[in-house]
């Protein structure tokens, strides 16, 4: 079975093919008749151990638009609450013969572990601070549709990179596709191996945003900061929150992105989130299309022209 566990599962050609498929899925999603039959008869289970608005709903819609039967496992009211382990839960669901399992979990490596145990395709919908590959793909699709390409663009990823699986997947994907990636954050919010990831690190927004084509803001993940460094909101916004003044350093037509959920007034000012350069709603739309493309590539044998990978 084929899986999408991280960006390293994909070659640059796989990424281009997936984005092409996703472009076609955008067109389908904009029609009044949105339903395809590619995954008719297939069963998709969404297993979300962490909260989600965008990812879970877009995987559900994507499956339904492809004609699959979609089941959302409600973890909060499941036997997980009685202490059932991830593997036992997965094996129980596996016995019902799903074709694809979508998992979000607080632990890095949870999706890869599951993929070894179950007899179906697995998609990582976010595992701890490790990866969120479909988010990076939808961000790439948004950028490619707006700018016409990824190669050669300067993308500034700003804020809480330390706790961000979105940042990690984006760094891997954008680097592989030939973009120049910058990390803009206080040193306390950078992972220790950041310099080895092929990004240029900037300690201030003024330096990091200079002439950027894309400014990607990240949520300050205070729930993952245990006791150590929890910045004050006022101070964080002053130095690292995106406002009109800081955005002036980027190119005049720079895209403003945020994976959501946003903390308005913490990492991004409302006037910027809702402003003319923001493509945050487009990112959400691209999320459904990219997830359609990924599931189609993993499950539809007629469309595996890319060597059997996603
Ligand atoms: N961007 C993202 O993963 O959002 P959710 O947590 O709402 O799914």
pLDDT tens sequence across 50-79:
999 999 999 999 999 999 999 999 888 888
Closest approach atom of ligand 1 to CA 260 = 1
Q: Is 170 in the pocket of ligand 1 (CB under 6 A)?
A: no
CA 219 / ligand 1 centre spacing (Å): 11
At residue 305, the pLDDT reads 47
pLDDT in tens, 83-94: 889 999 999 999
pLDDT in tens, 234-268: 999 999 999 999 999 999 999 999 999 999 999 99
pLDDT in tens, 19-53: 999 999 999 999 999 999 999 999 999 999 999 99
CA 106 / ligand 1 centre spacing (Å): 13
Q: How confident is the model at residue 271 (pLDDT cuts 50, 70, 90)?
A: very high
ipTM above 0.95, yes or no: yes
Separation CA 299–CA 148 (nearest Å): 28
Q: How confident is the model at residue 173 (pLDDT cuts 50, 70, 90)?
A: very high
At residue 228, the pLDDT reads 60
Q: Is the peptide bond before 261 cis (omega within 30 degrees of 0)?
A: yes
Asked whether the predicted pLDDT for residue 199 surpasses 90, the reply is: yes
Q: Copy the structure tokens of residue 5.
A: 């566990």
Which residues are part of a known binding site for carbamoyl phosphate?
54-55, 104, 132, 135, 260-261
CA 302 / ligand 1 centre spacing (Å): 31
Q: Is 92 in the pocket of ligand 1 (CB under 6 A)?
A: no
At residue 142, the pLDDT reads 98
Asked whether the predicted pLDDT for residue 308 surpasses 70, the reply is: no
Mutate to test the pocket of ligand 1, among 106, 159, 260 (most ligand atoms within 8 A of CB): 260
222 against 124, higher pLDDT: 124
Asked whether the predicted pLDDT for residue 108 surpasses 80, the reply is: yes
Q: Is 260 in the pocket of ligand 1 (CB under 6 A)?
A: yes
Adjacent-strand bridge partners of 46: 72, 102
Asked whether the predicted pLDDT for residue 81 surpasses 90, the reply is: no
Q: Is 259 in the pocket of ligand 1 (CB under 6 A)?
A: yes
CA 220 / ligand 1 centre spacing (Å): 13
Closest approach atom of ligand 1 to CA 126 = 3
Q: Is 284 in the pocket of ligand 1 (CB under 6 A)?
A: no
Which residues are part of a known binding site?
54-55, 82, 104, 132, 135, 165, 219, 260-261
């Amino acid at each position: 079975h084929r899986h999408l566990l991280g960006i390293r599962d994909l070659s640059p050609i796989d990424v281009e093919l997936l984005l092409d498929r996703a472009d076609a899925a955008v067109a389908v999603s904009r029609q009044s008749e949105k339903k395809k039959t590619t995954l008719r008869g297939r069963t998709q289970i969404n297993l979300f151990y962490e909260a989600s608005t965008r990812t879970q709903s877009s995987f559900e819609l994507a499956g339904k638009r492809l004609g699959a039967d979609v089941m959302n496992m409600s973890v909060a009211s499941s036997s997980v609450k009685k202490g059932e382990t991830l593997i036992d839960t997965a094996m129980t669901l596996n016995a019902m013969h799903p074709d694809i399992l979508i998992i979000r979990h607080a632990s890095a490596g949870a999706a890869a572990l599951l993929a070894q145990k179950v007899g179906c395709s697995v998609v990582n919908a976010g595992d701890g601070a490790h990866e969120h590959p479909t988010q990076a793909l939808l961000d790439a699709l948004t950028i490619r549709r707006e700018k016409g390409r990824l190669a050669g663009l300067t993308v500034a990823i700003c804020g809480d990179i330390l706790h961000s699986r979105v940042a990690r997947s984006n760094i891997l994907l954008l680097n592989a596709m030939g973009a120049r990636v910058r990390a803009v954050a206080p040193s306390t919010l950078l992972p220790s191996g950041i310099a080895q990831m092929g990004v240029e690190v900037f300690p201030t927004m003024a330096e990091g945003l200079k002439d950027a084509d894309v400014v990607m803001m990240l949520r300050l993940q205070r729930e993952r900061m245990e006791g150590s460094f929890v910045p004050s909101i006022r101070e964080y916004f002053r130095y690292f929150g995106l406002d009109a003044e800081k955005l002036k350093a980027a190119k005049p037509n720079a895209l403003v992105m945020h994976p959501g959920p946003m903390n308005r007034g913490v990492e991004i000012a409302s006037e910027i989130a809702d402003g003319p350069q923001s493509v945050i709603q487009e990112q959400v739309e691209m999320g459904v299309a990219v997830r359609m493309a990924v599931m189609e590539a993993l499950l539809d044998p007629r469309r595996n022209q890319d060597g059997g990978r996603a």
